[in-house]
Amino acid sequence: MGAPLTISVAVVGGGPAGLFAAERLAQSGCAVTVYEKMPSVGRKFLMAGRGGLNLTHAEDFEAFAGRYGAAAGWARPMLEAFTPADLRSWAEGLGQPTFVGSSGRVFPKAMKASPLLRAWLARLAALGVTVRTRTTWLGWDAAGALRFATPDGEITERPDATVLALGGASWPKLGSDGAWAAWVGDVAPFRPANMGFDTAWSPVMQGFAGQPLKGIALSFAGRTVRGEAMVARYGLEGGAIYALSAPLRDAIEAEGSATVTLDLRPDMSVGALTARLSQGRGAASLSNHLRKALKLTPVETNLLREAHGRNLPAEPGALARAIKAAPIRLTGAQGLARAISSAGGVRLGAVDERLMLRARPGVFVAGEMVDWEAPTGGYLLQATFATAAWAARGVLAWTSRQA
Ligand SMILES: Cc1cc2nc3c(=O)[nH]c(=O)nc-3n(C[C@H](O)[C@H](O)[C@H](O)COP(=O)(O)OP(=O)(O)OC[C@H]3O[C@@H](n4cnc5c(N)ncnc54)[C@H](O)[C@@H]3O)c2cc1C
């Protein structure tokens, strides 16, 4: 009996999805080459690290699995097979212990991606994974071989199986530009996800750009999100608005604008706020009164004026209601260039239950290039890793059947 043949796998795209699929496949004995168009791998992963690298979320699994909207049912078996706990122990195995931060978000203690990526690349090298950078996938030739542009000219490869992990289409300057959609086929158009929204701030409010609105609640279309937002010159950005970005984006596309309701003091009832505001204002200006009675910051007071008009009600009850429900009319969404992630990508119906393209046997997909979307909070990276693990498993199942 001869030695078993080694399965060769091309992983196209060196983001977290590609690197994790490569790791799993190499651990199973495959000969893996990662092809990456940029001069180095993991650029968006490193960018995510600038915000602390929110790897996953510690909330109850049912709540977690529900975060993927229309793709929740599709993603569930993959999230069950590679859970948030699995992702945490994987990071731990690379010398990066994690902790649960505010509102259940999970971060590496180092609060950055670079040490994790360094240890990860060392592990991949030890597993024999080859990484070819500056190598851009151009699609398939007529015979079905993978075509790549390299600094030394075009090459073709014929691996036993392929994992495409090309990312979505946000922040294209980091590498994932969605150009592959032209030749992969059956791809839903890319749209920004987890992005900021435009509003017509006055010049005074624009002067508060970069200032946070902490501990607020935002409501839209029956959903309320607690968290933080940031005033930008163009409008609002930050976690709380990102969490509502999918319904807001859809409403603006359909109706031209959407009005989000901001509660500046979600922990206090209208009654409690009224009681505080009723205690002697004396000769204080309204902004001083709001600062003393409720610790409203200048950006918060100005936001109330933007929402309700310069002359805020003096009557405590009406003022309390204004603080609990400031309407902000959003007129546009920021584009893909600065969105945290993108919606769209390879349609769920274009892949089988192993994440293999129905139209291309032996070609699997993983990560953000598939048409699912999720809010920030660690859900993006968790699904990126879980789909990569699933695609790797699919490759092993498929190649063993072909042998
Ligand atoms: C500013 C920012 C902050 C973020 N913070 C977080 C966070 O804290 N938590 C979280 O969960 N998520 C976060 N994300 C999202 C997260 O980084 C992505 O969801 C994740 O990187 C997707 O992984 P991926 O491997 O699918 O795609 P990518 O990371 O985009 O990797 C795809 C790779 O494919 C390469 N590629 C593309 N086309 C080709 C081609 N034709 N040939 C060869 N290579 C190609 C690209 O260069 C890229 O390296 C953040 C994103 C941004 C932009």
Count Cα atoms within 13 angstroms, Cβ side, for 333.
27
74 shares its domain with 179: yes
34 shares its domain with 173: yes
Residue 144 lies in a domain: yes
Residue nearest to atom 29 of ligand 1 (CA): 15
CA 15 – ligand 1 centroid, Å: 5
pTM of the model: 0.92
DSSP string covering 23-81: HHHHHTT-EEEEE-SSSSS-HHHHHHHHTT---EE-S-HHHHHGGGGGGHHHHHHHHHH
Residue 113 lies in a domain: yes
Residue nearest to atom 24 of ligand 1 (CA): 167
Residue 345 lies in a domain: yes
Domain boundary among 312, 333, 354: 333
CA 18 – ligand 1 centroid, Å: 10
397 shares its domain with 360: yes
Per-residue pLDDT 10s for the chain (403 aa) are 445 689 999 999 999 999 999 999 999 999 999 999 999 999 999 999 998 999 999 999 999 999 999 999 999 999 999 999 999 999 999 999 999 997 899 999 999 999 999 999 999 999 999 999 999 999 999 999 999 999 999 999 999 999 999 999 999 999 999 999 999 989 999 999 999 999 999 999 999 999 999 999 999 999 999 999 999 999 999 999 999 999 999 999 999 999 999 999 999 999 999 999 999 788 889 999 999 999 999 999 999 999 999 999 999 999 999 999 999 999 999 999 999 999 999 999 999 999 999 999 999 999 999 999 999 999 999 999 999 999 999 999 999 988 7
**């993927």: which residue's tokens?**
68
Residue 102 lies in a domain: yes
CA 225 – ligand 1 centroid, Å: 25
Count Cα atoms within 13 angstroms, Cβ side, for 351.
27
* Closest-CA residue to 269 (of 303, 294, 291, 287): 294
Ligand 1 site residues (CB inside 6 A) read 12-18, 35-38, 41, 43-45, 47-48, 51, 53-54, 136-137, 165-167, 170-171, 175-176, 179-180, 340-341, 367-369, 378, 380-381, 384
Residue 358 lies in a domain: yes
Count of domains for the chain: 2
CA 16 – ligand 1 centroid, Å: 7
Of 131, 381, 390, the residue with max ligand 1 atoms within 8 A of its CB, to mutate for a pocket test, comes to 381
DSSP-based three-state secondary structure for 148: strand
CA 6 – ligand 1 centroid, Å: 29
Q: Could you give the strand order of the β-sheet that contains 153-157, starting from the edge strand earlier in sequence?
A: 136-140, 146-150, 153-157
DSSP string covering 184-217: H-SEEEEEEES--EE----HHHHTTTT-EEEEEE
311 shares its domain with 345: no
CATH number of the domain at 384, please.
Answer: 3.50.50.60
Range of the domain at 233: 197-333
DSSP-based three-state secondary structure for 272: helix
18 shares its domain with 118: yes
CA 281 – ligand 1 centroid, Å: 52
Q: How far apart are CA 79 and CA 384, in angstroms?
A: 10
Residues in the chain: 403
Residue 2 lies in a domain: no
